[in-house]
Copies of this chain bind each other. A is one copy, B any other.
Amino acid sequence: MIKETFSNKKKLSAELGFGNKNYNESVRFLNQDGTVNIKRKISDKHMGFDLYHWLLSITWLQFITLVIISYVGVNTLFAIIYFGLGADKFGGLVGGASTENFSKLFFFSAQTLTTVGYGHIYPNSGSTSSVSAIESMLGLMGFALVTGLLYGRFSKPKADIQYSNNAVIAPYIDNTGFMFRIANKKQNELIETECKLALAINNLETKKREFHFLELERNQINFLPFTWTVVHPIDDKSPLFGLSEKDIIERDAEFVILIKSITDTYFQTVYSRMSYKPHEVIWNAKFTPMKQTPQRNGGITINIKDIHDYTKVTMN
């Protein structure tokens, strides 16, 4: 819920946490995909690196490549150890060339790591038995980590919100309003969806960047089966009141959106964020109502692609 009023001068800046520095060129704090456009550099890399976060946030291709490389790497390593201990310390390896034995020990390692353990090759001495006992333990724990991450990535909660490509300045009641539309891209339901809208804008007098929360006609919705048109009425209390299209470009405005919701898959709270820059705001336009098609089974269908559609209007 939005409780900030900004009546107090000293609270004008930095509520969002982006600081009030006025970069002399256009900056974008939030990328369109919701990631923050700021990097923290941490000199002592070991301290700052969050392996878990990184393994959850890399792409699936990177993750799978990493798993395969690790699997081959670990097996190569153990094959070298086994080979160093001596191929004659293994039952089932009768003579054979060195390269053939190495290859067989590589696969013996894979059979140990995955605990498949066919047994046609087996450790036949204390040293090789010890190493394979360690390897099978490492295998169990390593695969548990990998599969934990795999499931963690798979089940990671997210608010898959579709935002309209543009925000519009449209007629609203007796005046105009700043509007954008959102919809749920997934088949699950989002409940108790809340929205906050903030404006980051340069103050030409103080040469500082200011932040204002924009009051919404409604900031919570119980269900999101169709789309939700979020509306900020541009009345005389609005920081946008009296500003023209040219003004918000000159003052490098950014409209920052924070969405909080609950997915009904596991009743997890999820967050989504996005921002519009002035060139993504269409003036004197309104959103085309979504076409709602009744189905034979009594349900109603919408096409989520219609969310971007708007029509130009003449404003008084």
Contact = CB atoms under 8 A, between A and B. Distances in A.
Contacts of A15: 218, 220-222
Interface string A261-283: 01011111111000000000000
Interface stretch (A141-149, A242-250, A308-316): A141-149
Interface in A116-160: 116-120, 122-124, 126, 129-130, 132-133, 136-137, 139-141, 143-148, 150-152, 154-157, 160
A312 to B, nearest CB: 24
Contacts of A91: 120
A304 B41 contact: yes
Given A147-B144, A218-B15, A110 B136 contact: yes
Given A16-B223, A119-B117, A140-B147, A188 B40 contact: no
A222 B53 contact: no
Interface string A225-236: 110100000000
Contacts of A221: 14-17
A270 B40 CA distance: 20
A19 B14 CA distance: 35
A145 B150 contact: yes
A37 B27 CA distance: 43
A220 B1 CA distance: 13
B185 A304 contact: no
Nearest to A34: B264
A147 B129 CA distance: 23
A43 B303 contact: yes
Q: How large is the interface on A (under 10, 10 to 19, 20 to 34, 35 or more residues)?
A: 35 or more
A114 B140 CA distance: 7
Contacts of A94: none
Interface string A178-195: 000001111111010100
A267 B268 contact: yes
Nearest to A37: B299
A226 B18 contact: yes
A189 B277 CA distance: 22
Contacts of A150: 141, 144-145
Interface stretch (A44-52, A81-89, A163-171): A44-52
A138 to B, nearest CB: 10
A49 B117 contact: no
A74 B274 CA distance: 41
A42 B271 contact: no
A42 B304 contact: yes
A225 B18 contact: yes
A141 B133 contact: no
Contacts of A298: 27-28, 37
A32 to B, nearest CB: 12
A84 to B, nearest CB: 19
